[in-house]
């Protein structure tokens, strides 16, 4: 996503807190970030690809907080689909996924979540696992 090969309109979400936390701000190395609305009990972030892609992992960016130390998203569910109707859960750790710290700078950390068996997909979404994601 960081390379901009995925356009802003290919990144959607269940909600956003406001116009400064839109879904396309979920890209790495962005001064802004995506934040779902606090009343969204089942937030999701979805990426739609133009053609079938091989998905082998994702990089999660964390920050260093003066109050909390290093913080990053550490609990999520990956769902994937080819038709936006049937969503298949990928249970990361049950499928042998691995997590690696790639880099730590003075205020950012990058974590790689690697899939042992890559997926071929058109759509992927990340949820908190509380309910199914939006169906088109």
Worst-scoring range by mean pLDDT, 16-20, 26-30, 102-106, 119-123?
102-106
Name all domains of the chain by residue range, CATH numbers in brackets.
Answer: 8-127 (2.60.120.260)
Q: How many other C-beta atoms can be found within 10 angstroms of the C-beta atom of residue 45?
A: 19
Q: Which residues contact 68 (CB under 8 A, 6 or more apart)?
A: none
Query: How many residues in the chain?
Result: 136
Of residues 72 and 127, more confidence is placed in 127
The per-residue pLDDT for 131 is 46
Question: 35 near 61, Cβ under 8 Å?
Answer: no
pLDDT of residue 130: 52
35 CB contacts (<8 Å, ≥6 apart)? 16, 17, 21
Alpha helices in the chain (DSSP H): none
Return the C-alpha torsion angle 30, 34, 49, 103, nearest 10. Answer: 50
Give the closest residue to 93 by CA, choosing from 111, 116, 122. 116
Q: What is the pTM of this model?
A: 0.79
Q: What pLDDT, on the 0 to 100 scale, is given for residue 94?
A: 57
Half-sphere exposure of 1 (CA within 13 A, CB side): 24
């Amino acid at each position: 996503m960081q390379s901009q090969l995925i356009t802003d309109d290919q990144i959607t979400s269940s909600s956003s807190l406001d116009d400064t936390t839109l879904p396309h701000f979920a890209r790495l190395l962005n001064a802004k970030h995506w934040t779902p609305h606090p009343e969204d009990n089942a937030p999701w972030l979805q990426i739609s690809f133009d053609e079938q892609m091989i998905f082998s992992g994702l990089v999660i960016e964390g920050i260093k907080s003066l109050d909390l130390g290093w913080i990053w998203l550490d609990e999520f569910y990956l769902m994937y689909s080819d038709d936006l109707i049937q969503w298949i859960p990928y249970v990361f750790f049950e499928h042998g996924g691995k997590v690696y710290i790639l880099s730590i700078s003075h205020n950012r950390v990058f974590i790689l979540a690697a899939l042992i068996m890559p997926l071929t997909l058109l759509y992927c979404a990340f949820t908190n696992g509380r309910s199914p994601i939006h169906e088109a």
